[in-house]
Amino acid sequence: MALLEVEDLRHAYGEQVVVRGVSFSLERGAIGCLLGPSGCGKTTVLNLIAGFARPTSGAVRIGERPIVAAGTDRVVVFQDATNALFPWLRARENVQFGLSIQGVPKREASARALRYLDLVGLRDHAYKFPYELSGGMKQRCQLARALVLEPEVLLMDEPFAALDAISKRIMQKELLRIWRQLRMTIVYITHDVGESVLLGQRVAVMRRGPASSIKEEFSVDCPYPRKPTDEVVTDIYARVEASLQDEVGVSLYAA
């Protein structure tokens, strides 16, 4: 049975329809990637799932519960960790901030924050300010801040897009390591075909906007860790790329 259900979502800003007829579902503990060209409405769909906006029509459900507002059962990890973190708070304080808002006692909140900082490999940097952290470390801190709330669904909006190639690959591997430990459900937004195939169990390709919808879904049925040279991975990559290439209108390998 699906944990997350997105049914016939339509959203417009005034007369401008951004997404129309978007439907997909995701089982508990699965990683689903939403892939598409820039401006196709991926982040809009994420915001609707998060409850940051209300759809013009359609529905989002977690289990049997309809989503009508933001809640701690869904937490977002944003692309820009620098702006997402509070610069006046140390890493531990950033991570425990949400717990403090919920009224969790300070001692318990601090202990939980340190536990999740340890999970993402930042325990030794718990008392540093964000400006003292590298880009990858900032994103680890933001991830810990999301995970400490123990949400049912983790929403990730191109979280590694701003990192260099090496840091990005390290963070992809780290995300899978953490996912194997926690088995949380993840909706992962990306415009990177390779990233979607290496991370996702399901990959949904969105049409070019405006009024975008889900064009095609792919099941990536192969174990982790996945290597780009594996035959199954290269086959799925080629099919996903072909689907996306029709939407961007140019070769993804073009200079």
Residue 56 structure tokens: 């013009």
Residue 189 CA: distances (Å) to CA of 42, 89, 195, 225, 230: 7, 28, 10, 20, 23
Angle of helix 165-182 relative to helix 135-147, nearest 10 degrees, comes to 20
Tens-digit pLDDT profile for residues 58-78: 999 999 899 989 998 999 999
Opening angle at CA 138, ends 86 and 33, nearest 5: 110
Write down the residue that tokens 């200079």 correspond to.
255
Tens-digit pLDDT profile for residues 205-240: 999 888 899 999 999 999 999 988 899 999 999 999
Please report the pLDDT score of residue 249 as a whole number.
65
Contact between 132 and 124 (Cβ < 8 Å) = no
Tens-digit pLDDT profile for residues 153-212: 999 999 999 899 999 999 999 999 999 999 999 999 999 999 999 999 999 999 988 889
Tens-digit pLDDT profile for residues 101-122: 999 999 999 999 999 999 999 9
For residues 131-142, average pLDDT: 96
Residue 47 has pLDDT above 90, yes or no: yes
Report the predicted TM-score, pTM, of the whole model to 2 decimal places: 0.93
Q: Considering only CA atoms, which of 148, 176, 145, 163 is closest in space to residue 77?
A: 145
Residues 6+ apart with CB under 8 A from 242: none
